[in-house]
Amino acid sequence: MKRMQDKVVVVTGAARGIGEAIARRCAEEGAKVALWDLRQQDADAAAAAIAADTGAETLAQAVDVASAAAVNAAAAAVLARFGRIDGLVNNAGIVADAQLKKMTEEQWDRVIGINLKGVYNCTRAFVDAFLAQGSGSIVNISSVVGVYGNFGQTNYAAAKAGVIGMAKSWAKELGRKNIRANAICPGFIATPILGDMPKEVLDALINEVPMKRMGQPKEIAASVAFLLSDDASYVNGAVLEVAGGLTI
Ligand code: NAP
């Protein structure tokens, strides 16, 4: 039997990058997967490709995680369709970088709204269902930046530190109900989010990584799948760096 057979997993920001790889890996492991992303057509395309490649049941939903109303409606649709929720992967995230002295209120609010409040919105929307079931696994996608900070990323670092704090709080609040919450901190992963970075900057960053390469989205997905699965049945409140040794 596959490790996530018949489990229901929701992945936010699932149309591309790390989120798509997580959704794909969960589908390969037997899960039914709801893919949430901003645009319906992008979610549809990823969900259709994953369903065709894996045979898994997928559901594509247009959801802005920053909107509690949109999130609540989408969560209700997941529960109506599948009748349960086993895994929630809070992956949707953006960057809007600027040094502190140049950062605007709009940049701060946008990143906090999606990367921090979005994680709260999604987990809040499913917590009653998790509690009623007495089981579940929540994975927050943070970043090494959430632990160590980063030049030009006041807003992003604040949000990514915040989602670690939320995962630890939920680990304490919900653990007794057999609901686990953990955080993953990716290092440099080859996805469109790094698209605007100049090549010299990227090369210099890669040189800092002991493994001398960027990670691939599927290498984050493998760790997420572990945390979602019963193989991680006693892993709760953990912060797992998947960064090729970048921070040592
Ligand atoms: P990505 O390639 O930019 O993908 C992010 C996805 O999230 C996109 O499909 C995006 O849609 C969607 N999204 C953006 N805002 C959303 C919203 N408000 N509601 C729902 N979906 C939304 O990014 P990624 O590199 O895969 O990153 C995924 C997560 O890993 C993020 O939380 C990021 O901070 C974290 N992370 C990434 C790295 C890295 O090196 N790549 C490192 C550490 C942590 P659109 O395409 O329409 O914008």
Write the pLDDT tens digit of every residue in 102-156: 999 999 999 999 999 999 999 999 999 999 999 999 999 999 999 999 999 999 9
| Residue of 11, 72, 94 to test ligand 1 pocket, by largest number of atoms within 8 Å of CB | 94
Q: Is the dihedral of CA 125, 127, 128, 130 positive or negative?
A: positive
Distance from residue 14's CA to the centre of ligand 1 (Å): 8
- State residue 195's pLDDT score: 74
- State residue 1's pLDDT score: 86
Tell me, yes or no, if 156 is annotated catalytic. Answer: yes
| Residue of 35, 191, 202, 223 to test ligand 1 pocket, by largest number of atoms within 8 Å of CB | 191
DSSP H or E run through 139: strand 136-141
- 163 touches ligand 1 (CB under 6 Å): no
Sheet of strand 58-62: strand arrangement: 58-62, 32-37, 8-12, 87-90, 136-141, 179-186, 239-242
Write the pLDDT tens digit of every residue in 20-75: 999 999 999 999 999 999 999 999 999 999 999 999 999 999 999 999 999 999 99
Query: Rounded to two decimals, what is the model's pTM?
Result: 0.98
Distance separating alpha carbons of residues 151 and 101, to the nearest angstrom: 12
- State residue 193's pLDDT score: 80
Write the pLDDT tens digit of every residue in 191-248: 988 777 888 988 998 999 999 999 999 999 999 999 999 999 999 999 999 999 999 9
Instruction: Classify 236 as helix, strand or coil.
Output: coil
